[in-house]
């Protein structure tokens, strides 16, 4: 790999210098970090990361190569990568390619060889902000001007940019349960979990009306994860309101949790620096048990508004910061969680939630 200088410039003027990885070019977006030790390919391809520059806190990225079947969508979704050690050589026999070939093929810009611990500490202290990575522009003034043109994540509607273009189905048509899934950036492993539970799923584009979904005559409805600010998704909130009025079982994950909350009048807000990693402790208030969970979100449901609501109840709480991790709608077969029970490569502590949803459809 050529030793080309790359620059990371943060919105507050903080600058880091390293080496280029992936495509030579420039990438912009909101900077965020993920603490997972494995599963970098799943992170790269998670649509919830659309429009974000990802910092990997794990030192080595790329050391076990790329295997196409482990992608969560059909392409890389992150805007760019920031890492400490970019390892192009790999020894896993099952891998299809190296990370460098994968990044070049997908036109992804990255920076390596920088102190990612220092970058993460800065983001944790100052909060999420926009940033720019470039291996083709060295003029800080030019990069600053380009950085100022990037919109803030708060107020951005991004699900319509990552959703499917056309309706499609997955699973066997004669399966026991039929699920209508609203795709705001759905991950493939969510669909795999439904298929393994004898479900036939029809996946609809983000802005599909409830009337169109209703024609499928589903046994239950699923509201997916995805990127952006839920406060900018009134179209989705209206659809979920109609699903609730139809009195069908409903399950939401991540962004789906926020949309469900807003559908019953509970607001959401932007977190200081977000929750992203594979080791977040969550307490299930109904069972009293703690689950280790995978998370990836920059917005959350307002705790006080939820506690004061007569339409929804808190079911799960984050043990790190006491934020909302799950809720259920009172008097309805509808619930959601903020974390990812389908997490790949893991942990699998929360897979029971898929089973809970199946029981609602029996």
Q: Give the separation between CA 66 and CA 42, rounded to whole angstroms.
A: 10
pLDDT at 1: 56
Q: Give the separation between CA 332 and CA 330, rounded to whole angstroms.
A: 6
Radius of gyration of the chain (CA): 20
Three-state SS at 121: helix
- Rounded average pLDDT per 10-residue block, the chain, 362 residues: 88 97 97 96 98 96 96 97 95 94 97 97 97 97 96 96 98 98 98 98 98 97 98 98 97 98 98 97 98 98 98 98 98 98 96 98 93
Provide CB contacts within 8 A for 335, sequence distance 6+: 250, 251, 252, 315, 326, 327, 328, 329, 356, 357
Three-state SS at 185: coil
Q: Which residues are catalytic?
A: 254, 340, 342
pLDDT at 91: 87
List domains and CATH numbers for the chain.
Answer: 5-148 (3.50.30.20), 159-361 (3.40.50.880)
Partners of residue 312 on adjacent β-strands = 329
pLDDT at 2: 60
Report the Cα 10 to chain-centroid distance in Å: 22
Residue 335's nearest CA partner among 320, 319, 317, 357 is: 357
User: Residues, the chain, total?
Assistant: 362
Question: What pTM, to 2 d.p., does this model score?
Answer: 0.96
Q: Give the separation between CA 270 and CA 336, rounded to whole angstroms.
A: 19
**Do strands 15-22 and 26-34 pair parallel, antiparallel, or not at all (unpaired)?**
unpaired
Phi then psi for residue 117, to 5 deg, are -65, -40
Three-state SS at 301: strand
Residue 186's nearest CA partner among 153, 237, 221, 234 is: 221
Three-state SS at 14: coil
Q: Give the separation between CA 236 and CA 259, rounded to whole angstroms.
A: 7
Q: Give the separation between CA 214 and CA 216, rounded to whole angstroms.
A: 5
Tokens of 134: 């470039």
């Amino acid at each position: 790999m050529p030793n080309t200088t790359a620059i990371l410039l943060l919105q507050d003027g903080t600058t880091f210098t390293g080496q280029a990885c992936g495509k030579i070019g420039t990438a912009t977006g909101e900077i965020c970090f993920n603490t997972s030790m494995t599963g970098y390919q799943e992170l790269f391809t998670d649509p919830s990361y659309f429009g974000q520059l990802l910092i990997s806190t794990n030192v080595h990225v790329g050391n076990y190569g790329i295997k196409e079947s482990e992608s969560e969508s059909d392409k890389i979704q992150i805007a760019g990568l920031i890492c400490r050690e970019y390892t192009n050589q790999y020894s896993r026999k099952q891998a299809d390619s190296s990370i460098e070939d994968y990044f070049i093929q997908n036109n992804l810009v990255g920076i390596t060889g920088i102190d990612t611990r220092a970058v993460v500490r800065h983001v944790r202290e100052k909060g999420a902000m926009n940033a720019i990575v470039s291996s083709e522009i060295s003029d800080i003034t030019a990069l600053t001007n380009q950085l100022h043109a990037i919109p803030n994540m708060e107020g951005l509607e991004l699900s319509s940019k990552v959703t499917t273009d056309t309706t499609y189905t997955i699973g066997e048509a004669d399966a026991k349960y039929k699920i209508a899934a609203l795709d705001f950036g759905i991950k493939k492993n969510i669909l795999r979990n439904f298929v393994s539970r004898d479900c036939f799923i029809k996946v609809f584009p983000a802005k599909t009306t409830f009337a169109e979904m209703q024609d499928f005559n589903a046994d239950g409805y699923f509201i997916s994860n995805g990127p952006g600010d839920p406060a900018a998704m009134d179209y989705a909130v209206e659809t979920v309101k109609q699903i609730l009025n139809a009195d069908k079982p409903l399950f939401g994950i991540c962004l789906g949790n926020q949309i469900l909350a807003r559908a019953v009048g509970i607001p959401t807000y932007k977190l200081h620096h977000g929750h992203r990693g594979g080791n977040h402790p969550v307490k299930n208030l109904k069972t009293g048990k703690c689950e280790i969970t995978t998370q990836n979100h920059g917005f959350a449901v307002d705790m006080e508004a939820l506690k004061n609501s007569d339409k929804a109840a808190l079911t799960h709480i984050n043990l790190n910061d006491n934020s909302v991790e799950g809720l259920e709608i009172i008097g309805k077969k509808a619930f959601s969680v903020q974390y990812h029970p389908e997490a790949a490569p893991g942990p699998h502590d929360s897979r029971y939630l898929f089973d809970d949803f199946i029981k609602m459809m029996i």
